[in-house]
Amino acid sequence: MKNYFNRLLFLSALCFMVMISAQKQSEEFTISLPTKKLEKSYYKTIKLIDRRVDTTSLGTVRKGLLNNPANLVASKPLSDQFQEVLNSLNGENAENGTLVLYLRQLSFAEMAVHGYCYFQAFLFSKNEDGTYSLLDQANQVIDHKAKSDVTKEILQKGSEFLVDFIATNASKKNSSDKHYTYEQIKDFDRISKESISIFHTSELKDGVYNDYQSLKNQQPNKDLSRVKFYGNAPKIVRIYETVNGEEKEIKKDDIYAIIYKGELYIYLSIENLFTKAEKRDNDYYFVGKIKTNPNASNLMVAPAFPYGGSIGVSFTSNPITPFEIKIDYFNGDFIPIREVQNKR
């Protein structure tokens, strides 16, 4: 019996040490430098404006035989890494231009044998008069099915994409006639919303919106004749249209949102209803439960939720806790903000 308790004590201590070790584990990410030079580059400098939700983390990966979660961090500041990539791409004839990378998202996640990399950014080039113009923008989801080491392979795929993104743009000049000051591009999220109808219109157009593109441009795909609410809650369970003088129910599948009496309602597939979104500080927020597939473009990575707040990674295997969620103006993705406690 004594030996039994000794073994039990040893196993308990071992489990505790494993748990503590897992909490402290981290993995470093380094952008692999290119081996080939560009035939022509117009830029020698790249500056970084980091607007990620969490600038201290690049997501979560798995380590060791037990696949313990590990926080992914940059091995050195991302600003230095992007500059090193450009330096490696440039040959002796590179011109002296300047790029500015406005980084909205760079995050990694893993699920089973799949690795995911999410990248959102605006890239600007400096004009001769000291202003800046938009050179390119990216909204990329890499879904990679690994053959062996998921972590190693997805980090490499992400690294290769970042290098290609810089290489492609370093070899082209800007042709845009729209110029911004540096102060404006530091606040480019706000500037961008000025050209999106749903963020600056005084009155939203009623109707059915099949996707975010139609919603942000305020171009409904169908008219609404009537809706049915879920009791007194700000949730809509059925929607109707009038066709040839007859009212018929509209299937909710494949609908992004509706606007009814000037109010925005977002469709949540797991609840099979539309929930009301409210505008606050020029962003739209709603509360709901979300469960999507890791390759769906509906739920954006938030580093605070590495396995429950990414483009499609469910909050839990059976999510029952509501979250406050923000709609990403950039592409309509859902960004989890905080857990909302049920009021009982």
Interval 8-41: pLDDT, tens:
444 444 444 444 444 558 899 999 999 899 999 9
CA dist 318 and 167 (Å) reads: 42
CB 186 within 8 A of CB 136: no
**Where does residue 85 fall: left (phi above 0), alpha (psi -120 to 50 degrees), or beta otherwise?**
alpha
Phi, psi for residue 321 in degrees, rounded to 5? -100, 125
- Asked if pLDDT for residue 298 goes beyond 90, the answer is no
CA dist 117 and 114 (Å) reads: 10
pTM reported for the whole predicted model: 0.78
CB atoms within 10 A of CB 20: 10
pLDDT score of 220: 97
* pLDDT classification of 63: cutoffs 50, 70, 90: confident
Instruction: Determine the distance from the C-alpha atom of residue 191 to the mean position of all C-alpha atoms in its chain, rounded to a whole number.
Output: 19
CB atoms within 10 A of CB 99: 25
* pLDDT classification of 110: cutoffs 50, 70, 90: confident
Tokens standing for 246?
A: 């007859």
The residue among 109, 105, 97, 98 whose CA lies nearest residue 122 is 105
Instruction: Determine the distance from the C-alpha atom of residue 212 to the mean position of all C-alpha atoms in its chain, rounded to a whole number.
Output: 15
CA dist 82 and 105 (Å) reads: 15
pLDDT score of 62: 82
CA dist 110 and 157 (Å) reads: 13
CA dist 155 and 174 (Å) reads: 30
Axis crossing angle, helix 150-170 with helix 78-89, rounded to the nearest 10: 60
CA dist 294 and 201 (Å) reads: 33
CB 221 within 8 A of CB 241: no
Tell me: the pLDDT tens digits for 130-177?
Answer: 999 999 999 999 999 988 888 999 999 999 999 999 999 999 998 888
Give CB contacts under 8 A, 24+ apart, made by 177-186: 177/133, 178/133, 178/134, 179/127, 179/129, 179/131, 179/132, 179/133, 180/124, 180/131, 180/132, 180/133, 180/134, 181/131, 181/132, 182/100, 182/132, 185/49, 185/100, 185/102, 185/122, 185/124, 185/132, 186/49
Q: For 305-316, what is the mean pLDDT?
A: 33
Tell me: the pLDDT tens digits for 180-237?
Answer: 999 999 999 999 999 999 999 989 999 999 999 999 999 999 999 999 999 999 999 9
SS3 content of the chain, % helix, strand, coil (to 5): 20, 35, 40
Provide CB contacts within 8 A for 46, sequence distance 6+.
82, 83, 85, 86, 98, 99, 100, 101, 166
pLDDT score of 165: 97
- Average pLDDT score over the chain: 85
CATH 3.40.50 for the 24-192 domain, yes or no = yes
Q: Domain map of the chain by residue range?
A: 24-192, 199-339
The amino acid sitting at 84 is E
The stretches of 37-172 forming alpha helices (DSSP H) are: 78-89, 150-170
Tokens standing for 304?
A: 């605070």
